[in-house]
A and B are shown apart, each in its own frame.
Chain A
Amino acid sequence: MPTAAELGNVILQGLAELFRLLRTLFIQLQLVGNNETAINTSRSAYQSFWEIWYQIGAMMHWTVNMLTGKGGYIDIINTNSTLENTFSEVVGIAAKNATWMIGDIEGNNSTTFIIKAMVNALYNPENHVFVANFWNMTTEMIKLVSDALKYFPGYFP
């Protein structure tokens, strides 16, 4: 079986590769956004980016409405005594199992165990790529958003 140090290593390596992938995708979105005018001159840069953003916003709006709106699912919990009891059972289970779900202050169990394994593995010199990839991913994300925002005012009059 792998040790805790090996578990921390593989978690950091997995996340490092995920950050590297996200960086590549953000670069691709920048390249696509800057080339939108090449296809249809009536549309400026980052048109599709903001159109998709806007419609996903509408979808999220109705998702939140369904959950928190009048007569929605959270309203149902608050107005039905049976469901209110079930909900208090859910909270009770969470409270009873908090040590095993979230963890303890020494990091011997659950989520804190995983974080402790990650933190210890971070001191291993071969895992410095994790920090570098996280930094590069964040940089490209900020570049993408700030570049797209330059063209934003023209879209939704």
Chain B
Amino acid sequence: MPLSLDLSTVYIIDGFQGNFILMAELFRAIAINSTISDYVANDIYYIFGFLKWLSYFLNDISTIVNNEIMLGNATWKGWLVGYWQRVALNSTWLFGDWRGAWGVAYLWNRGLTCIQPGQFCYSINYGNLTTQEALEMVKWMFNATSEVGRKLSIWYPWS
């Protein structure tokens, strides 16, 4: 396998590893700082309020597309169907194929190959390192969840 292909696989794994480290830091901040976990417990109320508003906004757009375009205007209908078909035509290159030769499937195939014994990512211990970072992230995620969970009944009284 050429070195450049191995290196580009390492860059992709690096991206995921960096994401695990970032999320672990954020969860750690929530878990060890009681002011931040108070804020997160408060935010649950506002996050669902935002979900309501966002869904309402997107639903308005979709309703207009359904009624004014899909049922009314033949030219625009053709464009919208054409966009879906264009996605379908390119879906092999976007999502990948069953052999793992194209798209996102190829990236996962390359990653799995690279961390096998004797391969480049194995020789620099990247399989173990990524797994370690992921497990650390899950640890802090559980700690943060429990810190927020124990504060809900304090911030949301029944009366």
| Interaction A to B | yes
User: Which residues on A are within 8 Å of B, measured CB to CB?
Assistant: 1-7, 10-11, 13-18, 20-21, 24-25, 27-28, 31-32, 35-36, 38-40, 43, 47-49, 51-52, 54-59, 61-63, 65-66, 69, 71-73, 76-77, 80, 82-83, 86-87, 89-90, 93-94, 97, 100-101, 103, 108-111, 113-114, 117
A100 CA to B146 CA, complexed, in Å: 4
How many chain B residues have a CB neighbour from A under 8 Å? 73
User: Is B156's CB under 8 angstroms from A55's CB?
Assistant: no
User: Which residues on B are within 8 Å of A, measured CB to CB?
Assistant: 42, 44-45, 48-52, 55-56, 58-59, 62-63, 65-66, 70-71, 74, 77-78, 80-82, 84-85, 87-89, 91-92, 94-98, 100, 103-106, 108-109, 111-112, 115-117, 127-128, 130-132, 134-136, 138-139, 142-143, 145-150, 152-153, 155-159
**Which single residue of chain A is at the shortest CB-CB distance from B79?**
A39
User: Is A109's CB under 8 angstroms from B152's CB?
Assistant: yes
User: Is B131's CB under 8 angstroms from A77's CB?
Assistant: yes
A80: contacting residue among B56, B80, B98, B128, CB under 8 A: B128
Task: Kindly list the 9 A-B residue pairs having the minimum CB-CB distance in the complex, ordered from nearest.
Answer: A110-B149, A48-B88, A100-B146, A97-B146, A17-B55, A14-B48, A55-B91, A51-B88, A14-B51
Q: How far is the CB of B40 from chain A (nearest CB, A)?
A: 13
A-B contact pairs, 22 of them (CB 8 A): A1-B156, A4-B157, A14-B55, A15-B48, A15-B51, A24-B66, A28-B65, A38-B74, A39-B82, A48-B84, A55-B92, A56-B91, A73-B131, A76-B127, A76-B131, A77-B135, A82-B132, A86-B139, A93-B139, A100-B147, A110-B145, A113-B149
User: Is A62's CB under 8 angstroms from B109's CB?
Assistant: yes
A interface: dominant SS: helix
Measured between beta carbons, the chain A residues less than 8 angstroms from B142 are 90, 93-94, 97, 101
User: Is B51's CB under 8 angstroms from A39's CB?
Assistant: no
A141 CA to B77 CA, complexed, in Å: 22
**Which single residue of chain B is at the shortest CB-CB distance from A86?**
B135
Please judge, given known A-B contacts A32-B70, A39-B81, whether A25 and B95 are in contact too, CB under 8 Å: no
B interface: dominant SS: helix
A58: contacting residue among B97, B115, B155, CB under 8 A: B97
A91 CA to B116 CA, complexed, in Å: 26
B62: contacting residue among A25, A62, A93, CB under 8 A: A25
User: Is A59's CB under 8 angstroms from B96's CB?
Assistant: yes
B95: contacting residue among A3, A56, A76, CB under 8 A: A56
User: Is A90's CB under 8 angstroms from B109's CB?
Assistant: no
Q: How far is the CB of B2 from chain A (nearest CB, A)?
A: 21
